[in-house]
Amino acid sequence: MATLTSLTPTQSHNGITLTLTGTGLSGTTKVNFGTKKINPATVGATTVTVVIPVLCPGQVNVSVSAGTSTSNSLSFFYIDPPAPTGLSASNGPATATSLSVYGSGLLTATGVTFGAVGAGTALTVLSDSELTVTCPAHGAFGGASFDTVDCTVTTAGGTSISLGAPTQYTYYDAPTVTSLAPTSGPVGSDTTVTGTNLVDVSTVTFTPTGGGAAVEADFSTFSPTTLVATVPPGLATGTYDVRATTPGGQTAIVAGDVFTVI
């Protein structure tokens, strides 16, 4: 008569090999997960292995059958793979940023990975449907202005698969302004702003160089290195820093971004 003494592991998910240890197992023809019967992968006198099938989450009794006889059963806990469905933000700067991940099966999360950028830190599981994590800082972009990566979650139930856009995060390199042409003009005139990473620009502002409130300007983006801004109405004569904001942040104040309203 076959007798089971242990299972390794005692909890896991589909696709993982389960090892059953006991005595009198050489005649095993089926491994039973509740009422689901699976062909074993290997059979020996004291060890049987089987690939865990898809099961309902929770506890299930595992036994082996040989002909018409069935062994005793041992408890196994099946954990569904994690299923993240969305992020609190779909994009951000190249620096490390705190995010929330939403979905299901997140309760036993042990790690969150952002593509080739690497593993997140400060992982905090709030519930089975939400966790927070700090994404790792992005390194050099290799000439690109942004990089979109898959966010995957690893739990005791395995590693999630990508759903595409809902679970992707886009890092943006920091934008810069290097020069203006012309560097002066009246209200309502245009200036061509040259810089880097001027992708997905959300605002362009004129801020008095001596201090004061930023004033938003109308603009048109033509390339990752060029946009055209219109000097906002109502500006007094004087000098202003022209700055652009993207998901990668706001351009730093530099000598080349100064425009003089005449």
Residue 148 CB coordination number (10 Å): 12
pLDDT tens digits in sequence order for the chain, 262 residues long: 899 999 999 998 888 999 999 999 999 999 999 999 999 999 999 999 999 999 998 999 999 999 889 999 999 999 988 999 999 999 999 999 999 999 999 999 999 999 999 999 999 999 999 999 999 999 999 999 999 999 999 998 889 988 899 999 999 999 999 999 999 999 999 999 999 999 999 999 999 999 999 999 999 999 999 999 999 999 999 999 999 999 999 999 999 999 999 9
> What tens digit of pLDDT does each residue of 224-255 get?
999 999 999 999 999 999 999 999 999 999 99
Chain-centroid distance of CA 215 in Å reads 34
Which tokens in the block code for residue 235?
């500006």
Q: What is the pLDDT of residue 13?
A: 87
Distances (CA, A) of 121 to 49, 105, 139, 259: 36, 19, 16, 42
| Per-residue CA distances from 178 to 29, 53, 193, 252 (Å) | 73, 59, 8, 10
Which tokens is 115 given? 């593509």
